[in-house]
Copies of this chain bind each other. A is one copy, B any other.
Amino acid sequence: MNNRKLRGGMIGGGIGAFIGPVHRMAAIMDGEAEFVAGCFSSNPEKSRKSGEALYLDPTRVYSDWKEMILAESAQPAESRLDFISIVTPTASHYAIAKMVLEAGFNIICDKPMTLTLKEAKSLRDMVKKSGKIFALTHNYTGYPMVKEARVMVSEEKLGKINKIVVEYPQGWLASLLTGKAADLGIWRMDPKQAGASCCIADIGIHAENLARYITGLEVDSLCADLLGFIPGNKLDDDGSVLLRYKGGAKGILYASQISTGEENGLNIRVYGSKAGICWNQENPNYLFYTPLNGPTQKLSRGNSYNSQIAKDFTRIPFGHPEGFIEAFANLYLEAFKAIRALAGKKKVKVDVPTVEDGIMGLRFIETVLKSHKSSKKWTKLLS
């Protein structure tokens, strides 16, 4: 396997999808893998056309994911898939992942991992049992300057962390505020496909994950106020959450899909006794660091003063901006490293979200929902 590109399959992500193409670009851009099979849609014509656009062998393009897993399981070693990327709406993740694991493939899975915490725990058991690689695309942790922030916290450059403010404002659903949402077929607003939450499950968990990745702190309890502002929306499209972290830090998490004018404004500020830091996804090559009583420093990706970890995940020199796809690709690179190591029966330490992060995501979602439903009371993080 070490003298060839890895072979990937994809379930979901047909023409017109957002995240499927991102997975494909991220997986192949570094020359480490290529996609050779896929079930891009349950609509045969759409799946066929998607496969064609990817120059795939038509015999390895499917419109039924079960059929795909069966057929691909029968491929000989020299053409057998090394991993399958799952990029369908959330509702099907669990069933697909289960069958993929049983067939013995490694998985790269989009978030949220499953519909429920119960499913998440069950999936964890399956992953453990399978011994396979399971990577979850909490992609924002792939940005080099997010990794830099994590290093700075771990090296105690911030001192004791007191306050975390993490926000994920979007406005892409705001045009529905004065219209009818029910008709629009946005799967994230459909409980059958998205589960019990729209906004928190889609982006709130990215915010929680980002804060935890950088600070290492785990939520102790929270108080959540959600709302579906969009007429006809059965789920939340906006949420405000107060947080208390284990160890005493306080937090605010704000996620929204109806914050008119916002694009994809994930950002985080962490305040410690010795310094504060600030990072914003829309201008991701920079991390702002202000030591106590000193000037703010604009730490820039690609510089000699960066940590080794940030350097390891950097492709091009300072001033040449890397973006969303490169950060996403960093997750794939780590997953590939793990997959190659597993095949070679070697141990390797990789920096990629796992099934445990998926469980934490569902714990967060369900705790937020529980708090909200119980009169927005303070609620302990579900275990």
Binding site for B on A (CB under 8 A): 3-5, 18, 21-22, 24-25, 28-31, 34-35, 52, 54-55, 158-160, 162-163, 165, 167, 169-172, 174-175, 177-178, 223, 225, 227, 229, 238, 240, 242, 244, 250-252, 254, 256, 258-265, 269, 271-278, 281-285, 289-300, 302-305, 315-326, 375-378
Contact = CB atoms under 8 A, between A and B. Distances in A.
What are the nearest 6 A-B pairs in CB distance? Answer: A264-B319, A261-B290, A263-B319, A261-B276, A323-B323, A29-B29
Contacts of A160: 177
A274 B293 contact: no
B316 A22 contact: yes
12 contacts: A4-B55, A18-B316, A21-B316, A25-B30, A31-B55, A240-B252, A261-B275, A261-B276, A262-B276, A263-B317, A283-B321, A322-B323
Nearest to A225: B242
B22 A31 contact: no
Contact of A54 (B31, B302, B319): B31
The listed residue with most B CB atoms (<10 A of its CB), out of A256, A263, A265, A291, is A263
Contact of A319 (B174, B258, B282): B282
Nearest to A139: B320
A320 B258 contact: no
Nearest to A278: B261
A295 B290 contact: no
Contacts of A272: 260
A36 to B, nearest CB: 12
A275 B262 CA distance: 10
B229 A162 contact: yes
Contacts of A159: 177-178
* Max chain B Cβ within 10 angstroms of own Cβ: one of A162, A175, A178: A162
A55 B34 CA distance: 12
Given A223-B223, A260-B271, A3 B55 contact: yes
A250 B238 contact: yes
Contacts of A265: 319
Contacts of A52: 3
Contacts of A319: 170, 262-265, 281-282
